[in-house]
């Protein structure tokens, strides 16, 4: 028997699904990466809050086993679960989290602008208080957290 014949005897006659399996594995890898990122956020927040996984499960109204899967990064999270995590822990998971945060920050800025306008009108009427006139602030997102900070521009 030649080498070619030996090789052909080893090769399966059935169609291989290796390519499809690899495509599926690559697709799942991205989902797992996202799940792991969420797991890290959840674990950090639980640590900050001094909560256990059981505390989180109770607050989310889910089983402790589900929370355990979440913190292991092995759970394909539904939109409902992502929303619950976001609301209970106040951490960013969905893009809408930033929209809500931004709207809250904008409302704070508008409120601050009204206070400054009131100070300006007060300063206009009371020369001794002119030093309290408006300052300009710049709102900047923090690179390392989900918060914003104000810096004085002028």
Same domain for 87 and 137, yes or no, is: no
Min mean pLDDT across 28-32, 85-89, 97-101 is at 97-101
Q: For 109-132, write each residue's pLDDT tens digit.
A: 888 877 777 666 655 554 443 344
Q: How far apart are CA 8 and CA 105, in angstroms?
A: 69
Residue 1 lies in a domain: no
The token duo for 139 is 């709102």
Q: What is the pLDDT of residue 93?
A: 86
pLDDT of residue 51: 96
Q: Residue 140: which domain range? A: 96-152
Rounded Cα gap, residues 37 and 46, in angstroms: 14
Beta strand segments in the chain, E? 137-141, 148-152
Tell whether 126 and 89 lie within a shared domain: no
CA distance 88 to 1: 69
Lookup: tokens for 40 = 């890290």
Residues 23, 87: one domain?
Answer: yes
> Has residue 99 got a pLDDT over 60?
yes
Rounded distance between C-alpha atoms, residue 42 and residue 33, angstroms: 14
Each residue of 88-98: pLDDT tens digit? 999 888 776 67
Placement of tokens 């390519």 in the chain: 19
124 in a structural domain? yes
Does 45 map to a domain? yes
Q: What is the pTM of this model?
A: 0.51
Structural domain tally of the chain?
2
Same domain assignment for residues 79 and 111: no
């Amino acid at each position: 028997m030649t080498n070619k014949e030996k090789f052909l005897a080893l090769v399966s006659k059935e169609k291989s699904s290796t390519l499809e399996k690899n495509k599926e594995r690559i697709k799942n890898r991205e989902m797992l990466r996202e799940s792991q990122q969420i797991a890290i956020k959840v674990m950090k927040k639980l640590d900050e809050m001094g909560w256990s996984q059981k505390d989180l499960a109770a607050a989310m109204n889910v089983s402790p086993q589900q929370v355990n899967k979440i913190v292991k990064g092995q759970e394909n999270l539904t939109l409902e679960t992502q929303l619950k995590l976001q609301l209970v822990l106040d951490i960013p998971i969905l893009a809408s989290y930033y929209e809500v945060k931004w709207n809250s920050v904008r409302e704070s800025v508008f409120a601050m602008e009204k206070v400054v306008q009131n100070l300006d009108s007060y300063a206009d009427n009371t020369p001794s208080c002119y030093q309290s006139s408006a300052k300009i602030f710049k709102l900047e997102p923090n690179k390392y957290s989900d918060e914003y900070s104000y810096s004085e521009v002028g």
